[in-house]
Structure 1
Amino acid sequence: MDEKSAFETFELNLPPAILGFLKETSTWTYFLSILGFIGIALMILGGLFFSLMMNMMPGGNPYAGLGVDMSYFGLIYVVIALLYFFPVLYLFNFSRKMKSALRSNNNDQLTAAFSNLKSHYKFIGIFTIVIMSLYVLIFVFAMIAGTL
């Protein structure tokens, strides 16, 4: 006879209030992730439009004397949109898997949902540390350049 351990037969055993909170959270994260995908698409389109249109306008590049092409500014928007894609994708996957876990009482889906939520916050945390470090570096270089 093949006996299953208590862990293999474990089902979601959460109080109804927590299930309600998780359901509402998954609804809001789904909404925010869809808005995030729309924002990413608009950033990519805006970046490409800016890159193409600024080079076509006569006198549209005030930085031409410095050797800077205006299309670089549009590409910065595209790069930021691509970076923003990953946390939005993690949030989207969290909401889908959480809804599935709550619907089917599936522990594996619940684990996958929280794994995606952890990845979302980990990405946001690391990205925040990187941006804050860049701010500190810019501030330090500005202070050094100000004393020269």
Structure 2
Amino acid sequence: MMESHESNEGVKLTDQALKNLNETRKWTMFISIVGFVFVALMVLIALFIGSVMSNLPTGSSMPISKGFATVIYLVIAAIYFFPIYYLYKFSAHMKIGIVSRSQEDIDIAFKNLNAHYKFLGVLVAIVIAFYVFVLIGITAFGALVGA
């Protein structure tokens, strides 16, 4: 467990460290803005996927319903929103912290960066578990069909 130090003997950010953090902050702001644009596009696709699927020729069969496709796109957009939001909050607070030399804003920035990577780490673990589950399922199905 990490301890909080009340004295001024903690880690100091040098001018070079602040310069690097500012450069990182600019890139994370860019990435988060692009991410928000993609989330908005996913929501728009979710809203219009039903009408697109309705205009398909009557002979073509879709493996999923229009409503299900809408829900899938909305769920993906919601999942994608959170790490982008945390990245944006990191960048915004880091900018304030660097400009005003506010330790509180720098702490909040790093808290949001931590949340960003925690979210991505949990998401990666879930995806890996899903892939393992699918691989086991495919293997078991292949064994049953081959028998």
Q: TM-score band, normalised by the shorter chain?
A: 0.7 to 0.9
Structure 1 residue runs of 4+, over 4 Å off? 6-10
Distance 1:134 1:60, change over 3 A: farther
Q: TM-score, normalised by structure 1?
A: 0.85
Work out the CA distance in 2 between the residues paired with 1:144 and 1:51.
35
Counterpart check, 1:90 vs 2:72: no
1:43 is matched with 42
Cα deviation 1:104-133 (Å, max 9, x = unaligned): 011110100000000000000000000110
Q: Distance in 1 between matches of 2:38 and 2:117?
A: 19
Cross-structure match for 1:30: 29
Distance verdict in 2 for CA 1:54–1:47, change over 3 Å: same
The equivalent of 1:3 in structure 2 is none
Q: Pick from 53, 60, 72: which aligns with 2:68?
A: 72
Provide the secondary structure at the position in 1 that maps to 2:50. Answer: helix
TM-align CA RMSD: 2.3
Contiguous gaps of at least 5 residues in structure 2? none
Residue segments in structure 1 that go unaligned for 5+ positions in a row: 1-5
**Corresponding residue to 1:118 among 111, 114, 120:** 114
- The count of residues paired between Structure 1 and Structure 2 equals 140
Report Cα offsets for 1:46-71 as digits up to 9, x if no partner: 1221123213544276147xxx4233
Mark the CA change 1:60 to 1:96 in structure 2 (over 3 Å): closer, same or farther: farther
Query: What amino acid sits opposite 2:28 in the alignment?
Result: T
**TM-score, L = length of structure 2:** 0.85
